[in-house]
Structure 1
Amino acid sequence: MSDLNNRTLTIEKTFDAPIELVWEAWTQPEHITQWWGPKGMKTRIIEHNFVEGGAWEYAMTMPDGKDFIADGVYIEIIKLQKIRTSANFKPMTEGVELQVLLKKIGDKTQFTFHVIHETEEYCRQQEQMGFYNGWGSTFERLTSYLQEKVS
């Protein structure tokens, strides 16, 4: 197993929203469908069993009408702090671990997002395939969604 840092891609943001709202956005289906996926995609929840060992599966409909499936199993959940899950985004990405880390900073939320890959090579491939653009676009949607909810 290669060095964890070399197998991990990370995005960090500070959301201008309370931690409770950010947590709900990540954990409640009615919120998830509003922001999950890059711009232009609609998301529907097929399965969402938000407990350790519980499975999740989301279908993102692309502009051409085809579904792109994301799924995984929750590994660790610490309320208002941490979500760890396995994840597959077929056919582009399989066998990764997502880590969502939240920290309260006054009325804002510090957000750290890690995607851990099996190998350094796979990590580099994913980065070159547009990891930062795809997830960046998704988190822009989340930022806008949170701003709507706060105002």
Structure 2
Amino acid sequence: MANNASNLTISKELNCSKEAAYNAWTQPEQLKQWWKPMGKKLADVINDIKEGGEVKYVFENNSLIIDGRYEKVEEHSLLEYTWNWHLKLEREENAAYKLSVHFEGDNSHAAIRITQAGFESEEHVQPHKQGWEEGLQQLQDYLTGNNNVGKNGLNSNNADRDDIKEREEMAEEKYMPPVTGYNETEEQDKVGGG
């Protein structure tokens, strides 16, 4: 990983084919399964992969929208496009960047290299660096079938996903103790032989 005051470059080796990495990055249904920047769920994708084509990512509750236009497209190898962030609840100002995504490798191994350009200063680079590191790990986990860690760090498999979702929803609500027939005290436990 290298960066300067205006650019950030980050890369990751992936345990999949180059084509699988490209498809996971570009196909809306795959992208929705693994990419969750700032914990936000991707709700809608427009991805017209051609020079001048629109790219738009809309996240749940319109809390984040990223849009842009493809400037250069080399199928399965390179995507260059504008990368404009629009945050609904703004903690940092909206920003316009340029993104270059390189896909390398063969039928058994791949690598992805991302360069994000257009930062105003070094301090703006760090949150994006962390975001890309998390995103590329999410991509790797998805591609290797290891994408079963929920936002609360709970492990899951296909059979347990509904249970995990229910636990995540409960964790988001205010905790309420279970209702019982009476409140047990230490004395009541002793009387009951416990």
Same fold by TM-score greater than 0.5? yes
Kept after mapping to 1: 8 A contact 2:36/2:42: yes
**Which residue number in structure 2 is paired with residue 125 of structure 1?**
123
Partner Cα separation in structure 1 for residue 99 and residue 35 of structure 2: 14
Aligned mates of 2:98, 2:121 — CA distance in 1: 12
Instruction: Note the 1:2-21 alignment, pairs <5 A.
Output: 6-21=5-20
Q: 1:93 to 1:108 in 2, by over 3 A?
A: farther
Tell me which of the two structures has the higher relative contact order, counting C-alpha pairs closer than 8 angstroms and 6 or more residues apart: 1
Distance in 1 of aligned mates of 2:16 and 2:117: 26
Report what 1:87 is aligned to. 83
In the alignment, is residue 70 of structure 1 matched against residue 66 of structure 2? yes
Q: 1:45 deviation in Å?
A: 2.0
Listed one character per residue, the Cα deviations across residues 90-117 of structure 1 (whole Å, up to 9, x for unaligned) are: 2445221001011115611121110011
Q: Does 1:141 align with 2:138?
A: yes
CA–CA distance in 2 between the matches of 1:125 and 1:93? 15
Equivalent position of 1:55 in the other structure: 54
Residue 39 of structure 2 aligns to a residue in which SS?
Answer: coil
Task: Give the secondary structure class of the aligned counterpart of 2:37.
Answer: coil
Q: Unpaired runs of 5+ in structure 2? A: 88-92, 147-194
How large is the RMSD of aligned CA atoms in angstroms? 2.2
The C-alpha deviation readout for 1:89-144, integer Å capped at 9, x for no partner, is: 12445221001011115611121110011x6xx1413214x112112111111111
Give the TM-score normalised by the residue count of structure 2: 0.64
* 8 Å Cα contact 2:19-2:107 kept in structure 1: no
Aligned pairs, number = 139
Matched to 2:123, the amino acid is Q
SS in structure 1 of the partner of residue 145 of structure 2: helix
User: CA offset at residue 44 of structure 1?
Assistant: 1.8
Comparing both structures, which one devotes a greater share of its residues to strand?
1
1:47 maps to a residue whose letter is I
Shift in Å, 1:9: 0.2
Deviation at 1:14, TM superposition (A): 0.4
Specify the structure having the higher radius of gyration (Cα): 2
Please tell me whether the aligned partners of residues 15 and 143 of structure 1 are also in contact (alpha carbons under 8 angstroms).
yes
Match of 1:98 in 2: 99
Against the structure 1 CA distance between its residues 123 and 22, is the aligned structure 2 distance closer, same or farther, given a 3 Å change threshold?
farther
Q: Give aligned-pair identity as a percent.
A: 25
